[in-house]
Amino acid sequence: MNKISRLIIAGSIFLVLSLTLLFLTFGKGIRIPYLTDGIHFVLSPIHNLLAKPTQFLSEQKDVLSDLIEAYDENKELKQTVSSLESQIAEKDTLVKENESLRQSLGMVEMHADKHFIPGFVSVRTPASWSKQMIIDLGQNDGVSKSMLVVANGGLVGIVTSVEAESAVVKLLSNSDEFTKIPIKVSINSKEIYGILAGYDTDSNSFIINQLNGTDDIPIGSEVVTSDLAGTTPSNIQIGKVISVKSSTDNLNRELYVEPAADFSNLYSILVVGN
């Protein structure tokens, strides 16, 4: 028997004895002085070394579990926030629509002598936001060209083309193609007539000229439509004077008028019948 074989046999015997003693020590609770302590001394570092990866994996499992829980909570919170934002936007839209409807109702009550056709804005694209819109009223509803359109308590446009179920309204905020409308300003029981002739995009105000009087026009004076031409309904609110561009003879003055209607939120409308 060579030396290597002897070492293998000796090692095997030592391993068997060690395992037997280990079984007796841990399994049966038998304590062998010195030998048990020696086994503990030898195996304790091995046990600690093997326990560290297990402990690390256990800790990482807890961390991973916390991350997954945080991810799920974050996902749920995002869905909640998105739902709340949608509800807030819908609420804001409903509030604006209700306010527009109340103002339309107030216009009808204020002008009981006029015939109003109520409707809604059906199309208003960003490309032509300040130029025109399409309403859900047409020939079948009694709408015809050149009728005035009011919304949010003031004049906003004029009908330019009509189909059976819809009509195109040119907005008065359209500074490129402005339809002139006769107006009047009441001052101390006297009326000064003029023409609503344009829209100033810098000040977001109407421009009125061709005034037929030289009287001073105070800031804040009410401007309404006039039926002097015979084709336009009278006394439809346009806005209030915010500035006067003077001239030497006071006849060539220009009035800048703040619109009574809010052009940014047009929902319900009224077409004014002749």
Give me the DSSP letters along 27-92: TS----TTHHHHHHHHHHHHHHHHHHHHHHHHHHHHHHHHHHHHHHHHHHHHHHHHHHHHHHHHHH
Q: What are the tokens at 165?
A: 């179920």
CB atoms within 10 A of CB 28: 8
Q: What are the tokens at 45?
A: 């570092």
The domain locations on the chain are 115-273
pLDDT of residue 76: 78
Give the integer Cα–Cα distance in Å for 176 and 173: 9
Residues 268/151, Cβ–Cβ less than 8 Å: yes
CATH topology of domain 115-273: Thrombin, subunit H (2.40.10)
Give the integer Cα–Cα distance in Å for 8 and 10: 5
Residues 221/241, Cβ–Cβ less than 8 Å: yes
Instruction: List beta partners, residue 132.
Output: 170
Dihedral sign for Cα 94, 100, 102, 108, please: negative
Residues 216/272, Cβ–Cβ less than 8 Å: no
Phi, psi of 271 (to 5 degrees): -95, 130
Q: What are the tokens at 257?
A: 């008028």
pLDDT of residue 77: 78
For the CA atoms of 81, 85, 90, 96, the dihedral, rounded to the nearest 10 degrees, stands at 150
One-letter amino acid at 155 equals L
Give the integer Cα–Cα distance in Å for 121 and 135: 4
Helix axes 35-110, 3-26, angle to 10 degrees: 60
pLDDT of residue 175: 83
Residues 169/215, Cβ–Cβ less than 8 Å: no
pLDDT of residue 104: 74
- What tens-digit pLDDT sequence spans the chain (274 residues)? 566 666 667 666 766 666 665 555 555 555 555 555 555 555 566 556 655 666 666 666 666 777 777 777 777 777 777 777 677 766 676 677 777 777 777 777 777 788 899 999 999 999 999 999 999 999 999 999 999 999 988 999 999 999 999 999 999 998 888 889 999 998 888 899 999 999 999 999 999 999 988 888 999 999 999 988 778 889 999 999 999 988 766 668 899 999 999 998 888 899 997 6
Burial of 100 (0-12, 13-18, 19+ CB in 10 A): buried
| Sequential DSSP letters for 186-222 | EETTEEEEEEEEEEETTTTEEEEE--S--S---TT-E
